[in-house]
Amino acid sequence: MAECCIPIRYLVSLMVFFAFVLDQALRSCLSITVLVMVNRTHGAQPPFHGPVTHMKFFESARYPQNRTSLGDSRNWNTTTQGWVLNSVYIGILFSQLPAGHLVESFSLKWVLGYGVFFMSLLQFVSPLVISWSVWAFVALRIVAGLCIGSAFPSANALMSRWSPVHERTLLITLATLGYGVGATVTMFIAGPLCKHFGWASVFYFFGACGVIWSLLWYVCVASSPEKHRWISEEERIMTLANRDGNFDQNRHIPWKAILTSGPTLVFCIRTFCSMVFGTIFSTYTPIFLDHMYNIDLTVNGWINGISNMLSAIVALICSIVADRLLQSGYSINKVRKTFSTLSLMLPASIMLLLAQLEADVRLVAGLIIFASTLWGLYGGSDPALPIDLTAEFSGAVSAVVNTYANLAAVLTPIIVGWFLADQENFFRWNVIFETGAFTAMLGAGIFLVLGSASRQNWPTSSEDEAAPLLVDPL
């Protein structure tokens, strides 16, 4: 078969990128459609859940004449809405460790491919299930979360096989940028779909996109360079010669060593703190602008979109810079800790300023965009860390770390939503922002002092040994 016109490793990274776009779109599209389908006379505003739930940017889409035959308004109170919106994250949370085992034991191509494919199919039946029973729909969303829960572990395991050491940060960061891009794409596509074709069309559209992606994934991607049909012999030899790890399918997964490893535990704590901060920042700053500064809903949406775009650009640039620094001889610990610390400390400092600042709305909006831009510094560190620790078992490490991340993503909206019962109280907003900022700083400090990006020599036989808690200093 003819060779591809671009390096296959970049094609694989781009396909994973679009998998994350779909991952985020398929899980978050409900955050927008619920604004259209729920009867507002039955309950208050939707609860604080998900990355774009409170972007009331799409309230204009709620036209009765645009509701489909399957789309009459739902009489869901705020508690029911909370279950509907959070159910997919419950499935993702409980799928992580099983997904970590699957990606290290079976074909990576099929674990991720089937996950996206089956979640896409579930989108097609979602409107029918909604019309039947809300609790059946909650169960369906939990199953959808179980399907897509393999995304992060699969991506790390796949890119560890496809990434030469000198391009590792770039390729894995490029792949994971799809998550942030997916949130923005969902916002700007779902609103018009709801307005012109009814809320059910959102499920059908993203479900169809997922099926199309699955077909392309089947044709274009293989689990490793050794198995790809189009790759040039030159690229195959270069990739195999410059990647880390022994990817023998019969190797034992050292779960005990991974779960008790000092570097893994510190990375988990750092990720938990980062997700608490990220959930507060991405979910609640739009609400803060709406309630405290009366920013136009359309402008609020553009602020969110610009923030995500700039963060993605900075993350991609930082991934290239990090790879160049590593090639120049800088230690991997110094590079990863520098980018990781700055990506939390700088945005957290701006969040502290927001908590104390009662200023012109343009200054506040500018600070939010600037903070989100600085958050993109994570691209030089976080995505590549599981592969840095162990290329062979990066999928398992990613599963453990992502369990902590999803736990934070589930708990934070519940706690913050309860505390922000009065959304017009500036003091309560101060407390929320200060809590998020100090949590981020705590995570950054712990990783800076105790964390490590050095390769871990975990056993590959059944004789597990725990990694020592004393880790390499900066």
pLDDT in tens, 324-346: 999 999 999 999 999 999 999 99
* Structural domain that includes position 407: 255-474
Other beta carbons less than 10 A from residue 42's beta carbon: 13
Whether residue 248 is contained in a domain is answered as: no
Q: Model confidence at 423, in pLDDT bands (50, 70, 90)? A: low
Other beta carbons less than 10 A from residue 436's beta carbon: 27
Do both 323 and 443 map to the same domain? yes
Task: Encode pLDDT of 59-98 as tens digits.
Answer: 444 434 444 433 456 777 767 777 887 888 889 989 998 9
- Domains held by the chain: number: 2
pTM over 0.75: yes
The secondary structure of residue 438, as a DSSP letter, is H
Q: What CATH number did the domain enclosing 300 receive?
A: 1.20.1250.20
Whether residue 364 is contained in a domain is answered as: yes
Task: Encode pLDDT of 5-44 as tens digits.
Answer: 788 999 999 999 999 999 988 877 887 787 777 765 544 4
Task: Encode pLDDT of 96-112 as tens digits.
Answer: 989 888 887 777 889 99
Phi, psi at residue 251, to the nearest 5°? -70, 155
State the average pLDDT for the chain: 83
CA 120 to chain centre: 18
Whether residue 149 is contained in a domain is answered as: yes
Q: Which of 243, 274, 298 is the last residue of a domain?
A: 243
Whether residue 128 is contained in a domain is answered as: yes
Whether residue 250 is contained in a domain is answered as: no
* Cα(247)–Cα(107) distance, integer angstroms: 12
* Cα(284)–Cα(111) distance, integer angstroms: 34
Q: Interior CA angle at 428 toward 425 and 434, to 5°? A: 140
Do both 129 and 193 map to the same domain? yes
Phi, psi at residue 370, to the nearest 5°? -65, -40
Q: Determine the pLDDT at residue 386.
A: 94
Residue type, 72: D
Q: Determine the pLDDT at residue 3.
A: 57
Do both 73 and 99 map to the same domain? yes
Asked whether the predicted pLDDT for residue 424 surpasses 60, the reply is yes
Q: Determine the pLDDT at residue 401.
A: 95
What percent of the chain has a predicted confidence (pLDDT) above 90?
49
Tokens of 136: 């059946």
